[in-house]
Amino acid sequence: MLKHVVVWKIKDPSQRAVHTTAVKRALELLRGQIPGLLAIEVGVDLGYDEGADDLCLYAEFEDRAALERYQNHPLHQDVKAILGPLVTGRRVVDWET
């Protein structure tokens, strides 16, 4: 199994609530749509720490090949087109268990 975490900041803080909702909804619609994507969860930061990022994606994949399929899947590419203008500071960690 491979675990995949991505965190972002929203580019326009004045639109944080609207943009985090849009990103969360778009990513969670991928659930059950891409072979090898076992689990997906999107968290919106509570605002406790001023230095925190705004959004976090947690996903589980069958293996590295499944992550690669996800990255190139047309539905994921559509989501990236939604996210691109809204987020910044993308950071990623992937690990195998």
Q: Cβ distance 55 to 43 under 8 Å? A: yes
Mean pLDDT, residues 16-40: 97
Hey, which bits of 1-97 come out as E strands? 2-10, 37-44, 55-61, 87-96
3-state secondary structure of 54: coil
pLDDT (tens digit per residue) in 36-63? 999 999 999 998 998 999 999 999 999 9
Check residue 88 and report its DSSP letter. E
Residue among 4, 6, 2, 92 nearest 54 (CA): 6
**Topology (CATH) of 2-96:** Alpha-Beta Plaits (3.30.70)
Mean pLDDT, residues 75-94: 96
Percent of the chain with pLDDT over 70: 100
Compute φ and ψ for 64, nearest 5 degrees: -65, -35
Residues, the chain: 97
The domain spans of the chain are 2-96
